[in-house]
A = this chain, B = another copy of it.
């Protein structure tokens, strides 16, 4: 006998169940499941995906016997509903929907109210005494059937109804009378005939057959095929077809419709919540013509229905073990549950539900941690704009650092600082930011840039500061001279108010009201549940004692990345840094000059000159030493008893020099050298591709004294705190190593310096020396690298840049298109590219651990705060992830989810 093709559901029974997704599609299986549970879903039947396969195998024909099977089920359905398909006296109307095992875009949309025709519509008028309703569903059906099933564009129907509205001098569809709608029905039939080339089918069974064909057809349209290819969806037979009875809530006062939640989706409170309207359709609720009533009122209106409904609500929540969002309709005193699904909720509600459900023993803890979307937590940690406020964005940039900020536009970092001192809130607006702008960024409420991607300087620094930032808003044309910008016709001058949303990327003119962040008591409880689950350690990227403290408060277990370059910019120290750079002349330069020397005397002169320059160079470094030492003491204190990983100087030296002529002149004056000396140095240090330039430990190969100074400050600070019984284990991190001998060279210099400190101070502290793995070559030779590294930290920002060949400051311009064309699934600077970059990370971790037992391995790129990337880190067995302070809770949750997924 042939396989069963059609599966009935309804009246508390069903041929299928939730496990039969492959055969019934997701929708069909779910309807069967609910029906079996005794939930009164409108009955119907599902044509299996196996039929779709047969349909294609036979070249687009219904397989033999299918029609009979459909008709048999239709009869069953008629019986269940007590109505007849196509019968004007008491017509059964149905909906037809596609439904594959995996939902995919491009598949056929729903067709509602199938079974209507010229006679049936009259029957309905008689039954409901509501001609407007009858003509309205008829004209909608013709439109939908024409568009979705027969391919006659919805636009043509729109034109037709627009004509009627114009003639009737009304603006809204809702203002059309029954007569108008009757006219619309006629026009629609004409449109149909014209574009389809055939009369609108009057036979209900014809309508059904054509719709089923259309569903099958939509399985193999190019968009669906492409989607399956891109998402590696294979092994599916085809799509199922769901045919289900229509029910109406507007068939009198014993009818009604509504939406309800088993708990409050805004707060999570365990209390039924919802709205309904009697004698109404779902649309009426949406359209806002009538105000729906609170669910509790249903008790008064119809106590029986209320009791029935709340019973099903409890049953469904218990069955699905989650808060349910339920649509229901009451048709002439009979309750139908149209749909139930896990309810969408705010972050606060998600957390409360999870914590409550654990307490209610509805779900185990490991299930609870799955119930909150990690990225949602951002809502709780940053202020946001009041949802009630109307937004009129003038443009949209990248949502670079979440939160909401309101302030007056300023265009330089200096002005930001000055205005801030005067108590004015500002939005620092720049084409792009550079390390020179740190002070102004810190003073600003929010940062807005016209250029740069999600990992541009502005974005990274802002996230580190927990400050709202919209980056790369490229519609903005900034005119620094005129102190203003224009954007799609709007002009914003210095001092004008701006509201920027770092969560959506939107930029609004004026002042929008904001709502402060709150972390409820449940937040802490939930986080504790996460902590008992997770295996990954969570550290933070923090450069200041304040950031460190904030991260610690949010649960960080140490610092995974303390960048030292930001410290070079603060206050007066930048002058010592600049003095140092002017004095910096490399050994290589000297060798060149020596080679060209014509006499021993000249050689000696050159050597002398270099000795002097070196002295000057090291003198400037000595000025920086006490600053650095104090920086580290502050951070150690905030992170008392927790590990602190300090990355030695990373950016190229030119980042510390001013670019514009005026600032260069100021620098020359202050350092007592000629303008040309400064200009020449800036020119000399200019790089075509600074990302691949003279930076990271390459600086220390040329100028070992820089890292020596930093190592000394790190160790002396630790010794100072040790005296006060504060324990610290500094982890000194060498950036950008690409070769084992390079790492060894730099490490040897650092160790030598540290040994000198120990000797001088007659005291010791424990410390580690490790490296960032961020150059592909380092990953490829990680076994060799591990010989001189006590820990690895993957710098996945740079590793992504180099492995994929994308500059994160430039790629924003085309990466969007890469994602929209399906070439990459996501922006690789936001989600770790597991196939390419991830492969290197995994191999390097394996190689490193093979070469050094117990090698500690973490990740400190931006990916350390991204759930999908954290999941990858968990899978490959890293020890910890490190992320910006505000993402620490997200990382705690995400890593708990990874651990739970494992078991």
Contact = CB atoms under 8 A, between A and B. Distances in A.
A687 interface: yes
B701 A809 contact: no
Interface string A54-76: 00000000000000000000000
Given A745-B823, A817-B587, A691 B694 contact: no
B802 A701 contact: no
B780 A823 contact: no
Which of A776, A809, A835 has its CB near the most chain B CB atoms (within 10 A)?
A776
Contacts of A823: 701, 739, 741-742, 745
Contact of A694 (B814, B822, B839): B814
A836 B804 contact: no
Interface string A788-818: 0000000000100111111101110110111
A820 interface: yes
Contacts of A144: none
A741 B811 CA distance: 18
Contacts of A694: 810-811, 813-814
B814 A702 contact: yes
Contacts of A684: 474
A690 interface: yes
Contacts of A741: 230, 822-824
A688 B596 contact: no
Contact of A816 (B588, B776, B824, B837): B588
Contact of A839 (B488, B588, B780, B805): B780
Contacts of A616: none
Interface residues of A, number: 64
Interface in A823-843: 823-824, 833, 835-837, 839-840
A264 to B, nearest CB: 33
A693 B803 contact: no
Contacts of A805: 692, 736, 738, 774-777, 798, 802
A184 to B, nearest CB: 20
B596 A814 contact: no
A422 interface: no
Contacts of A302: none
A836 B738 contact: yes
Interface of A: 230, 393, 395-396, 474, 488, 586-588, 591-592, 595-596, 684, 687-694, 698, 701-702, 736, 738-739, 741-742, 745, 774-777, 780-781, 798, 801-807, 809-811, 813-814, 816-818, 820-824, 833, 835-837, 839-840
27 contacts: A230-B741, A393-B596, A396-B596, A488-B596, A588-B814, A588-B817, A591-B820, A687-B807, A688-B810, A689-B810, A690-B807, A690-B810, A691-B692, A692-B692, A693-B807, A739-B823, A739-B836, A741-B824, A742-B818, A745-B821, A745-B823, A776-B802, A776-B805, A777-B804, A777-B805, A780-B835, A802-B803
